[in-house]
Amino acid sequence: MDQICIIGGRPLEGTVQVGGAKNAALPILAACLLGGGDCEIDHVPQVRDVSTMVKLLQLLGVIVQGQCGKYTLNAETVQSVVAPYELVKTMRASILSLGPLLARLGEAKVSLPGGCAIGTRPVNLHLRGLEMMGAEIQVEHGYIHAKAARLQGARIDLDFPTVTGTENLIMAACLAEGTTTLHNVAREPEIGDLCAFLTKRGAKIHGVGTDTITIEGVRALHGARHWVMPDRVETGTYLMAGAITGGNLMVRGCITDHIGSVLKKLQETGVDLTEESEGVRIRRTGSLRSADIKTLPYPGFPTDLQAQMMALMSIAEGTSVLTETIFEGRFLHVPELHRMGASIEVDGPHAVIKGVATLTGAPVMASDLRASAGLVLAGLAAEGETVISRVYHLDRGYEKLEEKLGALGANIKRMRETA
C-alpha cells in the first residue's frame, strides 16, 4: 500500500490546471448504457473510480476504447444485467448502472452498496422512484433485482435531493413510456452536465438546474460527443491548498459559477480572490480568520469540501463552527487532525474548531476520499513531516495529486508503506 509523505511549511505558488469532474464523468459513462452508437467522452479524469466504472461497463458488454482521459464507448451489444458485489463494494457509484440497465434491458441486478465510512448511505429513494415508474424490485442475497417490461412515466417527489438518485431516475426516465416529472431533485452542476450529454443523445429533458425536472421518454438514444465539466471539488481543494499555505495560486480552467458558496466562505477567511480570464487566483498574506460553515445540497457549501475547509479552519484565528448536514459520519478526519495538534470538538453534526498557531506533522490515516484531501492540506501547512497512509482513498478521486502539488512547490512524495 502507498503512503504520501509531506514536509509542510512551503507556500504554494504557480498555476494548477483543473481536470474533468469525477462526479460528472461517472454518471455520463453509465449513461452510455442507454443506447447504441458511439459515445465519445473527453476530459475524463484519470482516477480509480473512473477505471472501476469502465471495468463495470466492459463487464456488462460495453466496448470501450481509448485512454488518457478520452474514451469511445459503444453499448450496442450490452447483454449482461449484473453489477457484481466485487465492483460495487469498491465504488458506490456503481449504483448508477441500475437506472440505465433497467430502462434499456428491462432488468438489472445490482449489488446493494453497503454502508460506508461516512454514513449508512441508503438507496431507498432510487428504488422507490423506479417502483413508481412501474419496476418490480426485490432485494435478495445482497442484490437489488429490478424488472420492468417498459418503465412508465410518473410523478416522483424525492424526500431528499439525492444526487445519484436524481441521476438514476433521469436516466431511467429517458427511455420510459410517457412523461416523468421529478420534484425536489438535486441541482448539482454534475446533473446539468449529465443532462447536457443525454440531450445530445436525443433525450428530451426540461427544467435542468431547477428543483423540478421533466423528461419525455423516447424509444432510443443515439451516440454523441461530450467534454466533461471541470471538477469543482478539485478546484476548491486547490484554492484551499493555496489558502492554508499562505501561497499565491492560479487555479486554471474552473467554472467559478459552480463554486459560489466556496468562494464566499474563503473570502470570509481573509484571503484575496480574483477572477481572471483563465481561472481564479488565491493569495494569502495575512492570517486566516475563522468562519462558520454548514454543508448543504447545491448551491450550498459542498460536503465534499468539508474536511479540507476544516483543515483550513484549524489554523484560523478564532473559533469556527462547521456543521455537516449531508452525511452523519463525515468527521473521521477529526481524530487525525487532533494528532497534528488541531483543537476540534465534535458535538453531533457540529464541529467546533479553535484555531491553533501551527499544526505539527504526524503519521495519520486516511478514512475516505475527501477526508484524505483534508489531511493532505493539513500536512502542507504543518511543521515537519506528515505521512498519510491508505492513500488509495485519494486515488479514487484526485488526478495526479502529488504531481500537481509538487509542481506548485510542495515537498510531497509517494512511497511504499514499510511494514
Contact between 398 and ligand UD1 per CB under 6 A: no
In sequence order, the 6+-apart residues with CB closer than 8 A to the CB of 311 are 240, 244, 333, 337, 342, 374, 375, 377, 378, 381
Strands 319-323 and 293-294: parallel
165/355 with CB nearer ligand UD1: 165
Kindly tell me which of 238 and 301 has the beta carbon lying closer to ligand UD1.
301
String marking each residue 302-321 x if it binds ligand UD1 according to CB under 6 A: -xx-----------------
Of the candidates 130, 120, 38, the one whose C-alpha atom is nearest the C-alpha of residue 110 is 130
Q: Which span sits near ligand UD1 by CB under 6 A: 59-67, 124-132, 133-141, 357-365?
A: 124-132
Which of residues 273 and 305 has its CB atom nearest to ligand UD1 in the complex? 305
Q: Does 339 bind ligand UD1 (CB under 6 A)?
A: no
327 binds ligand UD1 (CB under 6 A): yes
Nearer Cβ to ligand UD1 (57/315): 57
Say how many residues touch ligand UD1, by CB under 6 A.
20
Report if residue 191 touches ligand UD1, rule: CB under 6 A: no
**Residue 98 found at the interface with ligand UD1 (CB under 6 A):** no
Q: Does 52 bind ligand UD1 (CB under 6 A)?
A: no
Smaller CB distance to ligand UD1: residue 115 or 318?
115
Number of other residues whose CB lies within 10 A of the CB of residue 321: 15
Contact between 74 and ligand UD1 (CB under 6 A)?
no
Grid coordinates given for 86: 466485487
- List all residues 6 or more positions away from 181 whose beta carbon is below 8 Å from its beta carbon: 154, 155, 156, 212, 213, 214
Displacement of CA 1 from its chain's centroid (Å): 23
Radius of gyration of the chain (CA): 21
- Options 6-14, 117-125, 239-247, 378-386: segment touching ligand UD1 (CB under 6 A): 117-125
Q: Which is nearer to ligand UD1, 121 or 350 (CB)?
A: 121
Does position 343 interact with ligand UD1 (CB under 6 A)? The reply is no
Q: Which is nearer to ligand UD1, 190 or 336 (CB)?
A: 190
Residue list 250-309, contact with ligand UD1 (CB under 6 A) = 303-304
Of 16, 93, 228, 394, the one binding ligand UD1 (CB under 6 A) is: 93
Q: Is the peptide bond before 349 cis (omega within 30 degrees of 0)?
A: no
How far is it, in rounded angstroms, from Cα 210 to Cα 264? Answer: 22
Q: Are 191 and 162 in contact (CB under 8 A)?
A: no
Q: Which of 23, 74, 111, 306 binds ligand UD1 (CB under 6 A)?
A: 23
Calpha distance 216→170 (Å, rounded)? 10
Q: Shortest distance, CB of residue 358 to ligand UD1, whole angstroms?
A: 30
Contact status: 168 vs ligand UD1 (CB under 6 A):
no
Residue 81 makes contact with ligand UD1 by CB under 6 A? no
| Nearest Cα to Cα of residue 202 among 34, 42, 317 | 34
Helices (H) and strands (E) in the chain, counts: 14, 24
- On whether the CB atoms of residues 355 and 316 are closer than 8 A, the answer is yes
Catalogue the active-site residues: 116
Residue from 9, 37, 119, 335 that binds ligand UD1 (CB under 6 A)? Answer: 119
Shortest Cβ 314–ligand UD1 spacing (Å)? 21
Closest distance of CB 31 from ligand UD1, Å: 13
Among 126, 252, 265, 393, interactor with ligand UD1 by CB under 6 A = 126
- Is residue 246 near ligand UD1 by the rule CB under 6 A? no
Rounded CA gap, 328 and 119, in Å? 6
Tell me the angle at which helices 163-174 and 189-200 cross, rounded to the nearest 10 degrees.
10
Sorted by sequence, the CB contacts under 8 Å of residue 397 that are 6+ apart come out as 22, 45, 47, 48, 49, 233, 369, 370
Residue 187, interface with ligand UD1 (CB under 6 A)? no
Instruction: Assign 74 to helix, strand or coil.
Output: strand
Which residues of the shown chain bind ligand UD1 in the complex (CB under 6 A)? 23, 26, 93, 119, 121-126, 160, 162-165, 186, 303-304, 326-327
